[in-house]
């Protein structure tokens, strides 16, 4: 029984044990109780471990019950797939391939791999190899066998993701920003698409070619304070808070009459007041929409065409938002607490609701239309000004479990579980993110279409895409809702990589994998081989994790590099150790851990100064004067020196973070906390974007980078 249990776990891709990412790299043995739950949550009913052999046999037999898999993801130079047909009809086999409505030449060979008798019929599994070249694309394959015709999708993937030719000739640089954090003279208390447009112009003027931005996905309409861009309700659509209302056709300045004090308050607030900002914008946008509505039915209406193009995906999001708004002040607990008939997005009651609330649903679609239109304007400006990469967008690893995506595709996600992270050096107890995660089996059964859709949405108007926690293409740490202990669930890594490479090529969008954390052996080499770039941050570029800083020539070439990330303390904050003190005050670490971290930070400061000295990157007008090691000051010129140091690495793309440049001493996000403890995702930059080009620190950073 024990052997069949182990075989079952291996077959299903459930890790029986794993090694954490803490400095000790401790092994963890997963409890059988947790493993048994995971088997069931993946959709394989099993009451007792003793029944493992029966389930294994059932899984093995299932493949003989259908002719073709829903999809085959193959490499361009190895186009092979299998088909199972009755042995007495193999000679009648005919294969045709099409792409869209166009027939494609198909020259193929076939060979028998194995056979099996099922009932009175002997079936053979054949391997089909297409010997003529197929360009990277999605193809429809039809297999005719006797009187039966079977169909599947053939995803022919290039060997590598798209990589701009310019990167073979020169390094590129740009900015890594949080769009919401951009302060400006004109915005309504939160960065918006016009601020992003203005940043594009600054980039073009200063020679930058890339702008890294946070996920822009739509969040809760009724709870604007749920502001984490990594916990959206749909990764297919945009957050309306980024709409520049004054730019919307139909806006009139008099619409702000009586709201001047509110607008002034949100502009002057130190942190973002999401509720006030969002409600102010929505109030004005509703008034514009009410005046716009009579024209929305016109055949030539751009909005109507947008809704038709977006189809069911936009309809389902808007219906979800309308239902959520209807119940949010009546029922607590999200869509799982709604009346049972409303929990099913395809029920007759939901359809009836959609008819009765047509105008409200249309308003939610209107918000998406405006956001899409303004982001597209940013994309057009990028093309006009010739930025080599342009927007570097961000695809979250998961989404809020109370989301439209989960409501619409409940079987697509692992039930009663959420994604998280195992123990590591920063979080010894691990992290319970409670994010919805795709079920690898139902995902493939749906031909990976949900995954393809979110890739395409994230690649829209983008020249590069950051895949958050890219290890999730291979495995994801899953934690049952009813406990704190989880384990890794494995995905079909080759299929996921193939889909990413294909979408990258079709959308001409390069791919970058966020690979900080528990990275499996050989993983980085595998994604490099498929043309996926990694992320490099200064604080992780140390020999053996905590030794000397690596010299710039020792960084990885196939990487986007920066000083830190949105989850790390900005340069000045890190220098003084304010992040350590913040965690201590929030009781996230003990007094002893605080002391140990201060000692570690002192060692880090010393080694950083040594690395900067050795590389000779201190600005000529700001030579190093003293160590400032014990908190007595911030070394004059260290910001410029660090910019020179990291930007001179052999990484092909460098991203400058304005928080480092402007000396910010507050965290954008403190992982492991919510807004009741720390104002995550609410920090505004201290310098308005209109003032960047003249700002002394900004000019100094650019000079240091260009040196």
Q: How far apart are CA 411 and CA 559, in angstroms?
A: 36
The residues, any chain, with a CB within 8 Å of residue 620's CB and separated by 6 or more, are none
Tell whether the model's pLDDT for residue 644 goes beyond 70.
yes
Residue whose C-alpha is closest to residue 284's, from 257, 318, 323, 320: 257
- Average pLDDT rounded to a whole number, residues 521-540: 96
Give the pLDDT confidence of 396-419 residue by residue, as tens digits: 999 999 999 999 999 999 999 999
pLDDT score of 582: 96
User: Would you give the DSSP letter of residue 308?
Assistant: H
Mean pLDDT along residues 417-428: 79
Integer CA distances (angstroms), 414 to 330, 444, 472, 479, 489, in order: 28, 13, 14, 10, 10
329 SS3 class: coil
Task: Give the mean model confidence (pLDDT) for residues 374-388.
Answer: 98
Look at residue 300 and tell me whether its pLDDT is greater than 70. no
Quick: pLDDT tens for 493-515.
999 999 999 999 999 999 999 99
**Which CATH number, 3.30.70, 3.90.640, 3.40.50, 2.60.40, labels domain 77-157?**
2.60.40
Percent of the residues in the chain that have a pLDDT greater than 70, as a whole number: 97
What is the predicted pLDDT for the residue at 184? Answer: 98
Helix (H, G, I), strand (E, B) or coil at 145: strand
Q: What share of the chain is helix, strand, coil (3-state, %, to 5)?
A: 45, 20, 35
The closest of 505, 566, 580, 509 to 535, measured between CA atoms, is: 566
Mean of all residue pLDDT scores within the chain: 94
State the pLDDT at residue 707: 79
Give the pLDDT of residue 24. Answer: 62
The pLDDT tens digits of the residues spanning 222-257 come to 999 999 999 999 999 999 999 999 999 999 999 999
- Please state, as a whole number, how many other Cβ atoms lie within 10 Å of the Cβ of residue 61: 11
DSSP 454-522: HHHHHHTT-SEEEETTGGGGTEEEEEETT-S--EEEE--HHHHHHHHHHHHHHHT-EEEE---SSPPTT
C-alpha separations of 213 from 186, 226, 269, 686, 705 in Å: 20, 19, 22, 18, 20
d(CA 476, CA 671): 18
Is the CB of residue 367 less than 8 Å from the CB of residue 237? no
- CA separation (Å) from 389 to 84, 205, 576? 45, 15, 35
Cα Rg of the chain, angstroms: 27
Please tell me whether residue 251 adopts helix, strand or coil conformation: coil
Q: Which tokens in the block code for residue 565?
A: 């990330």
Helix, coil or strand: residue 565: coil
Instruction: Kindly state the tokens that stand for 44.
Output: 């394989």
Interhelix angle for 260-268 vs 274-292, to 10°?
140
The pLDDT of residue 372 is above 70: yes
Could you count the other beta carbons within 10 Å of the beta carbon of residue 449?
A: 13
What's the whole-number mean pLDDT along residues 472-492? 94
* DSSP-derived secondary structure letter, 542: B
Q: How many H helices and E strands in the chain? A: 21, 25
- Which tokens in the block code for residue 189? 């208390």
pTM summary value = 0.96
Tokens 């920090």 belong to 683
Residues in CB range of 505: below 8 A, 6 or more apart: 136, 157, 158, 161, 162
Distance CA 438, CA 344 (A): 19
Mean pLDDT score, 353-373: 97
- Cβ contacts of 406 within 8 Å, gap of 6 or more: 335, 399, 413, 436
Separation of alpha carbons 490 and 477, rounded Å: 9
Please work out, in degrees rounded to the nearest 5, the angle formed at the alpha carbon of residue 194 by the alpha carbons of 192 and 199. Answer: 100
Task: Give the model's confidence band at 28: pLDDT under 50 very low, under 70 low, under 90 confident, else very high.
Answer: confident
Instruction: Determine the Cα–Cα distance for residues 604 and 571; give it in Å rounded to an integer.
Output: 12
Q: Tell me which residue of 545, 565, 394, 405 sits closest to 470, measured CA to CA.
A: 394
pLDDT of amino acid 619: 94
pLDDT at 279 over 80: yes
How far CA 328 is from CA of 139, 220, 324, 331, 541, in Å, comes to 44, 11, 6, 6, 46
Give the H or E element holding residue 262.
helix 260-268
Low-confidence winner among 134-138, 290-294, 684-688 (lowest mean pLDDT): 290-294
The pLDDT tens digits for 180-195 are 999 999 999 999 999 9
Annotated domain spans of the chain:
2-62, 77-157
Of 225 and 298, more confident: 225
Closest CA to 210 of 386, 377, 375: 386
DSSP letters spanning 387-422: -SSEEEEEE-S-EETTSHHHHHTGGGB-TTEEEEE-
Residue 1 has pLDDT above 70, yes or no: no
Structure-token match 């992982």, residue found: 671
Section 255-284 average pLDDT: 97
State the Cα–Cα distance between residues 73 and 63, nearest whole angstrom. 17
> pLDDT for 29-84, tens place per residue?
999 999 999 999 999 999 999 999 999 999 999 999 999 999 999 999 999 999 99
In 3D, which of 462, 502, 439 has the Cα closest to residue 238? 462
DSSP notation for 65-105: GSSS-SEEEEETTB-EEEEEEEGGGGGG-EEEEEETTEEE-
**In the predicted model, is pLDDT for residue 109 greater than 60?**
yes
Q: Euclidean distance between the first and final Cα of the chain, in Å?
A: 66
């Amino acid at each position: 029984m024990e052997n069949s249990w182990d075989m079952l776990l291996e077959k299903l891709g459930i890790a029986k044990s794993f090694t954490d990412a803490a400095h000790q790299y401790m092994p963890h043995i997963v409890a059988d109780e947790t493993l048994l739950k995971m088997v069931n949550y993946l959709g394989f009913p099993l009451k007792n471990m003793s029944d493992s052999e029966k389930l294994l046999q059932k899984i093995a037999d299932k493949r003989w019950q259908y002719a073709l898999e829903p999809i085959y993801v193959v490499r361009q130079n190895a186009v092979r797939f299998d088909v199972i047909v009755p042995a007495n009809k193999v000679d009648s086999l005919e294969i045709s391939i099409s792409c869209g409505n166009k027939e494609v030449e198909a020259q193929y060979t076939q060979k028998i791999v194995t056979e099996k008798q099922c009932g009175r019929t002997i079936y053979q599994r054949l391997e089909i190899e297409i010997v003529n070249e197929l360009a990277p694309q999605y193809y429809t394959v039809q297999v005719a066998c006797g009187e039966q015709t079977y169909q599947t999708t053939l995803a022919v993937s290039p060997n590598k993701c798209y990589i701009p030719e310019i990167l073979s000739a020169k390094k590129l640089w740009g900015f890594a920003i949080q769009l919401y954090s951009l302060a400006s003279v004109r915005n309504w208390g939160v960065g918006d698409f016009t601020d992003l447009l203005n940043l594009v112009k600054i980039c073009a003027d200063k020679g930058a070619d890339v702008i890294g931005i946070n996920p822009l996905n739509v969040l809760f309409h009724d709870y604007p304070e749920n502001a984490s861009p990594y916990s959206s309700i749909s990764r297919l659509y945009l957050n309306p808070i980024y709409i520049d209302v004054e730019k919307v056709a139909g806006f009139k300045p008099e619409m702000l009459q009586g709201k001047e004090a509110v607008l002034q308050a949100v502009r002057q607030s130190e942190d973002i007041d999401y509720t006030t900002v969002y409600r102010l914008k929505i109030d004005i946008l509703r008034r514009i929409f009410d005046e716009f509505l009579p024209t929305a039915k016109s055949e030539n209406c751009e909005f109507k065409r947008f809704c038709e193009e977006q189809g069911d995906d936009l309809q389902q999001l808007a219906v979800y938002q309308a239902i959520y708004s209807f119940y949010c002040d009546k029922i607590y607990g999200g869509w799982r607490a709604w009346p049972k008939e409303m929990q099913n997005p395809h029920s007759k009651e939901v359809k009836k609701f959609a008819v009765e609330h047509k105008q409200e649903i249309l308003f939610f679609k209107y918000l998406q239309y405006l956001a899409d239109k303004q982001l597209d304007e940013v994309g057009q400006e990028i093309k006009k000004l010739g930025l080599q990469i342009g927007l570097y967008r961000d695809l979250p690893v998961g989404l809020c479990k109370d989301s439209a995506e989960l409501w619409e595709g409940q079987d697509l996600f692992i039930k009663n579980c959420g994604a998280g992270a195992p123990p590591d050096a920063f979080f010894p107890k691990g992290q319970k993110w409670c994010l919805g995660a795709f079920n690898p089996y139902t995902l493939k059964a749906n031909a990976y279409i949900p995954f393809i859709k979110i890739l395409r949405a994230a690649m829209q108007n983008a020249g590069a895409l950051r895949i958050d926690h890219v290890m999730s293409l291979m495995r994801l740490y899953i934690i049952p809702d009813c406990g704190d202990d989880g384990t890794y669930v494995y995905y079909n890594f080759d299929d996921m990589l193939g889909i990413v490479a294909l979408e990258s090529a079709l959308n001409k969008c390069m791919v970058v994998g966020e690979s900080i954390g528990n990275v499996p052996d050989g993983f980085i080499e595998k994604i490099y081989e498929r043309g996926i770039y990694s992320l490099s941050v200064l604080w992780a570029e140390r020999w053996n994790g905590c030794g000397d800083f690596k010299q710039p020539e020792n960084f990885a070439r196939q990487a986007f590099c920066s000083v830190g990330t949105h989850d790390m303390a900005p340069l000045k904050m890190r220098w003084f150790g304010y992040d350590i003190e913040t965690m201590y005050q929030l009781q996230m670490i003990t007094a002893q851990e605080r002391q140990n971290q201060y000692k570690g930070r002192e060692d880090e400061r010393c080694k950083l100064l040594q690395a900067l000295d050795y590389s000779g990157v201190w600005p000529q007008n700001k030579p190093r004067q003293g160590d400032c090691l014990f908190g007595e000051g911030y070394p004059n010129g260290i910001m410029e020196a660090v910019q020179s140091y990291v930007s001179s690495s052999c990484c092909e793309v460098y991203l400058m973070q304005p928080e480092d440049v402007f000396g910010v001493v507050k965290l954008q996000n403190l992982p492991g906390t919510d807004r009741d403890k720390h104002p995550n995702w609410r920090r505004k930059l201290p310098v308005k974007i209109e003032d960047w080009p003249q700002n002394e620190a900004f000019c100094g950073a650019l000079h240091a980078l260009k040196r």
